[in-house]
Structure 1
Amino acid sequence: MMELEICVDSLESAIAAEQGGAQRIELCSALREGGITPSAGLVRAVRTRVGLGLYVMIRPRSGDFVYSNEEFGVMRDDIALAAEFGADGVVFGILTAQGDVDIARTRELVELARPMKVTFHRAIDMSRDLVAAVNDVVEAGVDRVLTSGGAPSAMQGLDQIAAMVDVSAGRVEIMVGGGVRPDNVQQIARATRADAFHSALRTAVPSPVTHRNASVFLGQVGLDEYVRHVVLAKSVKNLRHAMEELVERKRG
């Protein structure tokens, strides 16, 4: 069976992911910045309302993946909180300044997280040698890697993802992310031989607010403050259907 993980940053989207047939969610905040650790209240609410596998992003800030001792301490605390709130897994990525996987720190967090599962996120796409990085995360004890093959999208990184699947040799699961959609997931699966996929599937939803101050930006200048991006159940169903269709073809 192919696995589908949906990246969400709200309770609304988490519920939609479950209704659409996903197996797992990655829960973040601030997806416009690539995702950071969600609040304790959001984690608790999602765990209470959603029965899917719940993986919590552990990322104390946006930007690069080289962390100070203080930031690393925050990551340790957030992993403990994720476990307390009933998460099934955590998601993080730590690199050295030279662009290698920080094996020692990754292993420390993996051991702290157990018995939860651990995904090493797309920080791996910023590493200098993806094949070597796969071996490094295996050494650190990681269960799963999320990757676009070091490219802007999975479609552009097909060959590298396939190489990562080969070198993993079943020691760690390679999960493909980065622009995975119903119209390309079958091509990605055939080209990479991966069977786990990750997608945000975000749809813009206009705000119901009628009074608007368009001259003020509370976040990045130029971003529309009156548009939210959410996951729709029908989007997840369409992606799930495309994946199941490929499985049926293989069986036939």
Structure 2
Amino acid sequence: MKKNQLEIACFNYESAIIAQEAGADRIELCDNMKLGGTTPNPILAVRVREKLSIKMHVIIRPRGGNFVYTDDEFVEMKQDIKQFKKLGVDGFVFGILKENGNVNKRRNKELVNMAHPLPCTFHRAFDVVKDVKKSLKDVIECGFASILTSGQGINVEEGIFDLEKIQKWAKDKIEIMPGGGLRSSNIKLLQDKLEPTFYHSSAITDNSETANPEEIKELRNFL
């Protein structure tokens, strides 16, 4: 039977260590919290990989802002996937859209194929797609293993009913991972509505960019 699991978004080395020690199942390594997460420095990834026994996924996002990328930015994303694969990461997190708000199937599929056999998560670019049902189908067809989403809300609480709908539409074809303002104070609301899944949180509870070990333990207690 499937069980709930916890992924922690980590914006520095300290958070990655804290996440593992506090009982997270996986981390998503990122840079630039204020930009919503961008591709981390490879040197940081090497340091974290050496210390972690839990799984480590890496975000591939060349900049903040929208999710429509230039040709040069797309080349950069491909190079980053090649480089991080050599460093022994366990998966990738990215998402590319077209200017019309649809999923860019050709480019996403190319990156998923490059990442193979490592699993890929389509990140919160999903929260700004124009047509959720069509985009869900497109993301599945690209070969992603999961979608990180707040249900198109500002946070998971606001998007809770859409998260429930998206998870039902997805059935067993792809994992829907709630994320965006997820904390121990609201995870129970989601659990009451959703089937068991991966939950995603930065577990940051102050003005720093470092995860709070007590918050991770609280999240774990609910799982």
- Equivalence for 1:247: none
Shift of 1:201: 1.1
Q: Which moved more, 1:14-23 or 1:186-195?
A: 186-195
Shift of 1:158: 1.1
Q: Is the 8 A contact 2:11 2:209 kept in 1?
A: no
Q: Is the 8 A contact 1:90 1:119 kept in 2?
A: yes
Q: Does 1:237 align with 2:222?
A: no
Matched letter for residue 107 of structure 1: K
Q: For residue 154 of structure 1, give the secondary structure of its aligned residue in structure 2.
A: coil
Q: Distance in 1 between matches of 2:152 and 2:212?
A: 28
- Equivalence for 1:43: 45
Which of 39, 53, 61 lines up with 2:63 in the alignment?
A: 61
Q: Distance in 1 between matches of 2:222 and 2:191?
A: 11
Normalised to the residue count of structure 2, the TM-score between the two structures is 0.96
Shift of 1:194: 4.7
Where in structure 2 are there 5+ consecutive unaligned residues?
A: none
Normalised to the residue count of structure 1, the TM-score between the two structures is 0.85
Larger Rg: 1
Q: Deviations over 1:177-230 (max 9, x none)?
A: 0111112112112223352210011133xxxxxxxxxxxxxxxxxxxxxx6321
- Equivalence for 2:144: 142
- Equivalence for 1:166: 168
Q: For residue 70 of structure 1, give the secondary structure of its aligned residue in structure 2.
A: helix
Q: For residue 159 of structure 2, give the secondary structure of its aligned residue in structure 1.
A: helix
Q: Is the 8 A contact 2:122 2:139 kept in 1?
A: yes
- Equivalence for 2:159: 157
Which of 193, 198, 201 lines up with 2:200 in the alignment?
A: 198
Where in structure 1 are there 5+ consecutive unaligned residues?
A: 205-226, 244-252
Matched letter for residue 123 of structure 2: H
Q: Is the 8 A contact 2:155 2:181 kept in 1?
A: yes
CA RMSD of aligned residues (A): 1.0
Q: Is the 8 A contact 1:189 1:195 kept in 2?
A: no
Instruction: Determine what percentage of the aligned residue pairs are the same residue.
Output: 37
